[in-house]
Amino acid sequence: MKEGPAEETQRSKFIEEMIGKLSPQRRAEVIDFIEFLLSKETGSSRPKMTCSWAGGLENLRKEYTSVELQPKASKWWSHDAISD
């Protein structure tokens, strides 16, 4: 059901009032959430992954094989995720 201009204006004022009652930190969260919803609405997706990290472990080539590095890299990533 589509809203008319009067209802849309009234709803916008209500949303502004509700946001105005929030702390600055919560307002930032609201903006972040709105941007998230808009990205879903417009169908934009995450940026494509690049291989800019390729060769990042080259300095460890003489110490480890790729098979030995796989579990170490996994441990490093999980540690970074926990510390963030």
Residue 50 falls in which region: left (phi positive, over 0), alpha (psi -120 to 50) or beta: beta
| Tens digit of each residue's pLDDT, the chain (84 residues) | 567 888 889 999 999 999 999 998 999 999 999 888 888 887 656 666 676 777 777 787 788 887 887 887 788 777 655 554
Which residues are CB-contacts of 30 (< 8 A; sequence separation ≥ 6)?
19, 22
